[in-house]
């Protein structure tokens, strides 16, 4: 449904893509998907989600009544005879309510079973909806062939246009736009496909807007009725080539400095990107797209803490079948106390890091020889980049560099790219004449871009002593110091596997089960009980560590409710933990309280299994 334009080969391929759309339309006419089926699916999904809400309410009610029933029995000895009789009746009624709730809860399927069914239905719903929308779009837009000629005429004009032509005919484009509603383009290629007319698109969406300068965005903005600006303020901005003083001088000539409401916050060319301009134009906070899907947990946890104030939610699902067992995952800091030398032109080089980067690169290359995993090397300095490139190129056959799609670039050139494995060379060190640079505090985006490129594995090559002990006007809030501190926390958690929130239980039922499990001599069975163990992105209710890794979860009223419907996370959570080698046991709170011995025996039976 989306046509891509831009480079010459994309424009030349437009006719072929449109012909494919026509052929698809003939197949879609016979599709069995209809709106009634989609609506029925959605109603079923809502019913299941409402069931989860009902279950949460019943679990909460059962827990409240259970503790009320048991706590009140303690005050019975202090009552007179009449009060004792009244109290007994009240307690009997509580008992009946508990039994009714227990019977009602026992008739529901397990929450995880319901969540998995919802996920299955949602996949079917989204696929059916996509097919239905596509069929309606194609049938209505093509108009049973009436509009095909108009579109082909426009696409022929786009294909034959040249750089110095007057532009695309407006009438021809408007006719084609009735059919082809969704386009993808680079900013530089807009003029070769779309006429320069105001508001010809209902929406123009800018991606990677932190890299877009305002003059480059202007042609697309002019063609839009509304805009959606998507970007990351912790990514690198455009390279302007103007200093702030020159920018201010030009602005003063054109009296922009008098307009305090827009200059410099919204239109300063040298350092205000389209994203920053849009953010500064809002009267509310931007919408945060918090879900992260690229990097292994440790890698993105490092960036999340150091640069995003832990606002990101890690949702990464990697294919570990393509990753060798003899290579570590996550982030690893290799200390290198070399010397940094400053070139007269301003760039830096650290020869010790060049040698160490090549050594690690060759080791990684050997271990991934049977795979198609990609490798990248990134550094803040162009002289370091050139030295690493020369060293690796001399040590590595060209066919291997091509096979693993090896790229050795500066952080600015790596933005927007990603690799399976990355090696980062910091360059700065305690020794040498080039350690006075403070770019990491002025532009922390450089570090964030460099560290957030890998999927599976990140090696940081740098002088830890310099990072921790160098004098800095920011003190302990220095980005490098914060980075080392965050890394050490991650490694401490990984090493001890006991980074816990001891006894900060989420519910009284968790505390109740913890006390019951403490009564068992788990050490004789070869296990250790740890409450609130953090396993990468998740905190477990209880972990049993021994021959197996067992996660015990107390299922109460845990769902976050947004707009009346529960947020589902347990399916993804359990699947992630299983990939990490954990066995997950889930027990509803009402079973833990009402059938404590059965629950404990279920756990013991699992521990005794060989």
pLDDT at 278: 96
Listed residue (542, 478, 537, 485) closest to 511, CA to CA: 542
For the cut 90, the answer to whether the pLDDT of residue 410 exceeds it is yes
513 or 88: which leads in pLDDT? 513
pLDDT at 523: 87
Provide the pLDDT confidence category of residue 145 given band limits of 50, 70 and 90: low
What distances in angstroms separate CA 496 from CA 120, 464, 552, 575, one per listed residue?
37, 22, 20, 23
Helix axes 214-222, 274-281, angle to 10 degrees: 70
List, for residues 444-479, the tens digit of each pLDDT value: 999 999 999 999 999 999 999 999 988 888 888 899
List, for residues 7-18, the tens digit of each pLDDT value: 777 777 887 888
Per-residue pLDDT averaged across 310-330, rounded?
91
For the cut 70, the answer to whether the pLDDT of residue 78 exceeds it is no
Q: C-alpha angle with apex 346: 345 to 352, nearest 5 degrees?
A: 110
For the cut 70, the answer to whether the pLDDT of residue 565 exceeds it is no
pLDDT at 462: 96
Cα 467 from Cα 470, distance rounded (Å) = 6
Helix axes 570-579, 111-142, angle to 10 degrees: 110
pLDDT at 99: 92
For the cut 90, the answer to whether the pLDDT of residue 350 exceeds it is yes
Cα 240 from Cα 272, distance rounded (Å) = 10
Helix axes 111-142, 35-72, angle to 10 degrees: 160
Ranking 48-62, 462-476, 492-506 by mean pLDDT, the lowest is: 492-506
Cα 290 from Cα 308, distance rounded (Å) = 10
What mean pLDDT, rounded, does the chain reach? Answer: 88
400 or 579: which leads in pLDDT? 400
Per-residue pLDDT averaged across 200-208, rounded?
95
Per-residue pLDDT averaged across 62-69, rounded?
88
Ranking 129-143, 254-268, 284-298, 317-331 by mean pLDDT, the lowest is: 129-143
Domains, the chain: 295-497 (3.40.50.300), 508-609 (3.40.960.10)
List, for residues 514-523, the tens digit of each pLDDT value: 999 999 888 8
In whole angstroms, what separates CA 591 from the centre of its chain? 35
Per-residue pLDDT averaged across 250-260, rounded?
93
For the cut 50, the answer to whether the pLDDT of residue 276 exceeds it is yes
Cβ atoms of 221 and 41 closer than 8 Å: no
Cβ atoms of 397 and 406 closer than 8 Å: no
Q: What percent of the chain has pLDDT over 90?
A: 59
Listed residue (434, 429, 461, 484) closest to 356, CA to CA: 461
For the cut 60, the answer to whether the pLDDT of residue 501 exceeds it is no
DSSP 518-576: HTS-GGGGT-EEEETBEETTEE-SEEEESSSEEEEEEESS---EETTEEPP-HHHHHHH
pLDDT at 557: 80
166 or 385: which leads in pLDDT? 385
Cα 69 from Cα 89, distance rounded (Å) = 12
Terminal Cα-to-Cα distance of the chain (whole angstroms): 55
**Total-model pTM:** 0.78
pLDDT at 403: 96
Provide the pLDDT confidence category of residue 163 given band limits of 50, 70 and 90: very low
Q: What percent of the chain has pLDDT over 70?
A: 91
Cα 566 from Cα 563, distance rounded (Å) = 8
Residue 331, strand partner residues: 458
């Amino acid at each position: 449904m989306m046509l891509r334009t831009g480079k010459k080969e994309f424009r030349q391929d437009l006719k072929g893509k449109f012909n494919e759309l026509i052929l698809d339309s003939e197949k879609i006419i016979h599709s069995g998907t209809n709106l009634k089926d989609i609506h029925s699916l959605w109603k079923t999904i809502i019913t299941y989600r409402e069931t989860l809400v009902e279950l949460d309410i019943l679990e909460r009610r059962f827990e409240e009544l259970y503790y009320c029933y048991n706590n009140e029995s303690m005050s019975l000895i202090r009552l007179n005879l009449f009060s004792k009789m009244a109290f007994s009746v009240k307690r009997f009624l509580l008992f009946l309510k508990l039994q009714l709730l227990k019977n009602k809860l026992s008739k529901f399927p397990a929450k995880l079973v319901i969540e998995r069914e919802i996920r299955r239905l949602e996949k079917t719903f989204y696929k059916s909806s996509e097919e239905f929308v596509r069929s309606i779009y194609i049938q209505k837009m093509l108009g049973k062939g009436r509009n095909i000629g108009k579109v082909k005429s426009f696409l022929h004009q786009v294909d034959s246009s040249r750089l110095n032509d007057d532009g695309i005919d407006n009438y021809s484009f408007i006719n084609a736009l009735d059919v082809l509603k969704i386009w993808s383009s680079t900013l530089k290629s807009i003029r070769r496909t779309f006429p320069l007319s105001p508001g010809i698109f209902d929406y123009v969406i800018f991606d990677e807007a932190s890299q877009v300068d305002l003059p480059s965005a202007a042609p697309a903005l002019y063609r839009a009725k509304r805009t959606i600006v998507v970007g990351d303020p912790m990514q690198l901005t455009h390279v302007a080539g103007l200093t702030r003083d020159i920018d201010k001088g030009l602005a003063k000539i054109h009296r922009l400095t008098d307009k305090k409401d827009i200059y410099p916050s919204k239109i300063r060319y040298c350092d205000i990107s389209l994203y920053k301009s849009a953010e500064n134009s809002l009267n509310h906070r931007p919408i945060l797209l918090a879900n992260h899907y690229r990097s292994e947990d440790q890698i993105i946890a490092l960036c999340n803490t150091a640069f995003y104030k832990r606002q990101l939610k890690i949702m990464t699902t990697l294919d570990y079948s393509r990753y060798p067992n003899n290579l570590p995952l996550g982030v690893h800091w290799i200390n290198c106390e070399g010397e940094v030398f400053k070139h007269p032109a301003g760039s830096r080089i650290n020869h010790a890091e060049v040698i160490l980067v090549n050594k690690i690169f060759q080791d990684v290359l050997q271990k991934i020889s049977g795979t198609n995993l990609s490798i990248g090397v990134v550094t803040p300095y162009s002289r370091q980049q050139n030295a690493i490139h020369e060293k690796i190129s001399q040590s590595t056959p060209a066919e291997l560099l091509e096979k693993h799609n090896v790229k050795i670039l500066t952080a600015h050139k790596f933005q927007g790219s990603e690799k399976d494995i990355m090696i980062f060379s910091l360059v700065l060190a305690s020794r040498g004449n080039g350690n006075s640079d403070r770019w990491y505090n002025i532009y922390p985006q450089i570090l964030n871009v460099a560290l957030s490129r890998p999927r599976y594995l990140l090696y940081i090559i740098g002088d830890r002593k310099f990072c921790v002990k160098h004098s800095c006007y920011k003190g302990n809030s220095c980005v490098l110091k914060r980075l080392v501190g965050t890394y050490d926390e991650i490694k401490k958690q990984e090493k001890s596997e006991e980074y816990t929130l001891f006894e900060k239980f989420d519910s009284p039922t968790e505390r109740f089960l913890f006390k019951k499990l403490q009564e068992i001599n788990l050490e004789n069975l070869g296990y250790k009980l740890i409450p609130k163990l953090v396993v990468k992105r998740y905190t477990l209710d209880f972990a049993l560590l021994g021959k197996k890794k067992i996660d015990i979860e107390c299922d109460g009223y845990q769902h976050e409710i947004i707009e009346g419907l529960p947020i589902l996370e347990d399916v993804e959570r359990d699947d992630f933990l299983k990939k990490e080698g954990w066995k997950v046991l889930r027990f509803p709170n009402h079973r833990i309280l009402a059938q404590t011995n059965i629950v404990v025996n279920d756990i013991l039976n699992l521990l005794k299994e060989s």
